[in-house]
Structure 1
Amino acid sequence: MEFGQIDAVYLYELTRYRMILRDRNVYLKQLQTKQSTDRVYLEVLTEQLAKSGARIILKRLEFLKELENYAKILHANITQQKENLTFKYKCTASIDDLEMNQDAIEIRLKETFETIVDKEIFQGTTLIGPHRDDVSFKVNGRNVQTYGSQGQQRTTALAVKLAEIDLMRAKTGEYPVLLLDDVLSELDGERQTHLLKAIQDKVQTFLTTPGLNDIARQLIKQPRLFRINSGKIEVKPETIIFYPKKENES
């Protein structure tokens, strides 16, 4: 999820975090190989990393809450209200019991770093922080990455991607171009219908597929087809590009 595309402050902080992380990992390697024995500089880097990491985590939690609101609606529409999608931010520093407060997150990061510093020196790398955090998705209370069918996993991925587009539109006032790679073949007819209805007249979309079925042909408006044949692109009368209506069009 590219939150940096919609928030310049987040992108700046993420860039800064990666620079501090790189320096910290280099110094952990030096401590590991006994090239240095001074832990004071490591403490300075850890302080900086915890502060920057807390800002990133807080931003992510805020973004994910907004993204989940969009994704839940889209996912419910695609599945005809049969499935409920929820997000869970999996933090390596265990902040589940903390409120969304930057100072509290920073303190938890520092406390966790203190407990694992010897292990980090032994391994020569930073073991916790936003760079190792993840997001899990649950459908009807079950982890979709682990227990979901292929169709459920693809539907979840599509709902999240479409939610990102809606969130970007809300934050920037513009829709990005949507790229979908062979998604229709992994969805049943009902999910195909709801997916295509969700994107047509809304966002310009490039869709790759080995072939169009009757459902797609009926729902895709103003089509133009590009066919790849023997490594060459052929332009056909149909297409797989949806053009969103302009505001002054009825």
Structure 2
Amino acid sequence: MRVQHLELRQYRNITALELQCPEELHLFVGPNAQGKTNILESLYVLALGKSHRSRSSRDLIQFGKTRANLKAKVKKNNQNERLEVQLFEKGKKVIRNGIEQPRLSQYIGSLPTVLFAPEDLALVKGSPQVRRRFLDMEIGQVNRTYVHHLTQLTKLITQRNHLLKELGKSRQIQSALLDVLDEQFISLAVPIWEKRFRFLALLTKWARKIHETITQNQEELMIEYVPSIQIHGEMTQTELQETFAQELSKIRGKEIQRGSTLVGPQRDDFSLKANQLNLHAFGSQGQQRTAALSLKLAEIELIYQEMGVYPTLLLDDVLSELDDSRKTHLLTAIRGRVQTFVTTTNLEGIDPALLKQARIYQVRQGIITELG
């Protein structure tokens, strides 16, 4: 997988940018708050149709402007594709090969991407919402139907919560509609659970090997799905359906009382343990960083296994967050396989042999200049 050309117009603090970028390694160097992260973010938006830093398209458009354009030419399995995201104050369009895609699920996967940023420590020590977002974004890249199911689930839960509130206000309202919504809820939740169980099983296989290498076989990493009801990955589709239906029936009164959906994929989590130690609660910062690094490197292998191409890797100011051993492992693991875009405040600690092969840019106030 290679990004060959990147073009930005009126994106954040970048007025105009055109980069030819077929090389394996691209380094963007400069002080903080100059626009380095904006370049990596634009690639993430081109990959997934949304930012990892902002929910609003308005935030991505240059101040004083009403729209922004992002374009990329990519080469995947010897085939060229043109990707474009048009951002407006109240929405966006995603376009592949000149054709607007009516659903984001039909677009995602065109540019498989893995982003590693300092905030990814939150995967280990942050809230369940952070880990669910990680699952949803990564599974969505390798399985487009997952994105569609997730979108439908979000809409259904909004509708279901509204009905639960109305039922709580007036007992005279018939609950037959809630029965219908519960059937739809079950039909959407089960395939989401199935895909999450499978994804985490594959991720665990790769992450454990990587984690053992980084820790020199001193730690064994375990990743466990933590559902909001008593289910597990060995259950059949029918068993998942029946178990969820029973749980919804059992807690219906409590949900009506609270006016909220209390169980389902939107309430789930996953845990990370090293030698049975819960890293979220008790892991040291070094252990948490190692686990986060293992997850990100495992993502690369999983995407290759599922899609047959290595993803584009975005490293946003993470080299300074890693000690020498973790930095060396990261750069060694990706060398020769993965096209990588890196932001950094300086080039210290990067292998001189890698620098000779890299294309290096200076970033100042949104202006990107290639260094000779």
Amino acid corresponding to residue 157 of structure 1 in structure 2? A
The Cα of 1:35 is off from its aligned counterpart by: 8.8
Structure 1 residue matching 2:270: 3-state secondary structure: strand
Look up the match of 1:243.
none
Amino acid corresponding to residue 155 of structure 2 in structure 1? M
Equivalent residues in 2 for 1:1-250, closer than 5 Å: 1=135, 2-34=138-170, 37-96=173-232, 99-219=234-354, 222-237=357-372
The Cα of 1:33 is off from its aligned counterpart by: 3.2
If each structure's strand is expressed as a fraction of its own residues, which one has the higher value? Answer: 2
User: Given the superposition, is the C-alpha separation of residues 55 and 71 from structure 1 closer, same or farther in structure 2, using an over 3 Å criterion?
Assistant: same
Number of residue pairs the alignment of both structures matches: 236
25-34 or 169-178: bigger deviation: 25-34
15-24 or 119-128: bigger deviation: 15-24
Could you report, residue by residue, the CA deviation over 1:206-231 in whole angstroms, capped at 9, with x for unpaired residues?
12222232354455561222222344
d(CA) in 1 for partners of 2:258 and 2:306? 41
User: Given the superposition, is the C-alpha separation of residues 171 and 13 from structure 1 closer, same or farther in structure 2, using an over 3 Å criterion?
Assistant: same
Contact 1:24/1:126, CA 8 A, preserved across alignment: yes
d(CA) in 2 for partners of 1:157 and 1:28? 38
If each structure's helix is expressed as a fraction of its own residues, which one has the higher value? Answer: 1
d(CA) in 2 for partners of 1:211 and 1:84? 34
User: Given the superposition, is the C-alpha separation of residues 100 and 223 from structure 1 closer, same or farther in structure 2, using an over 3 Å criterion?
Assistant: same
Amino acid corresponding to residue 213 of structure 1 in structure 2? E
TM-score by length of 1: 0.85
d(CA) in 1 for partners of 2:175 and 2:294? 46
Amino acid corresponding to residue 203 of structure 2 in structure 1? L
The Cα of 1:81 is off from its aligned counterpart by: 2.4
d(CA) in 1 for partners of 2:280 and 2:177? 40
Structure 1 residue matching 2:251: 3-state secondary structure: helix
Structure 2 residue matching 1:225: 3-state secondary structure: strand
More relative contact order in 1 or in 2 (CA 8 Å, sep 6+)?
Answer: 2
> Alpha carbon RMSD of aligned pairs, Å?
2.1
Could you report, residue by residue, the CA deviation over 1:40-99 in whole angstroms, capped at 9, with x for unpaired residues?
111111122123212211221111111111111122222232221111101001224x73
User: Given the superposition, is the C-alpha separation of residues 82 and 74 from structure 1 closer, same or farther in structure 2, using an over 3 Å criterion?
Assistant: same
Please list every run of 5 or more consecutive structure 1 residues that lacks an aligned counterpart in the other structure: 238-250
The Cα of 1:194 is off from its aligned counterpart by: 0.9
Amino acid corresponding to residue 110 of structure 1 in structure 2? A
User: Given the superposition, is the C-alpha separation of residues 230 and 12 from structure 1 closer, same or farther in structure 2, using an over 3 Å criterion?
Assistant: closer
Contact 2:190/2:237, CA 8 A, preserved across alignment: yes
Contact 1:197/1:219, CA 8 A, preserved across alignment: no
Amino acid corresponding to residue 175 of structure 1 in structure 2? Y
Structure 1 residue matching 2:314: 3-state secondary structure: strand
Amino acid corresponding to residue 347 of structure 2 in structure 1? L
Contact 1:189/1:215, CA 8 A, preserved across alignment: no
Contact 2:324/2:349, CA 8 A, preserved across alignment: no
Please list every run of 5 or more consecutive structure 2 residues that lacks an aligned counterpart in the other structure: 1-134
d(CA) in 2 for partners of 1:189 and 1:77? 15
d(CA) in 1 for partners of 2:250 and 2:236? 22
User: Given the superposition, is the C-alpha separation of residues 95 and 210 from structure 1 closer, same or farther in structure 2, using an over 3 Å criterion?
Assistant: same
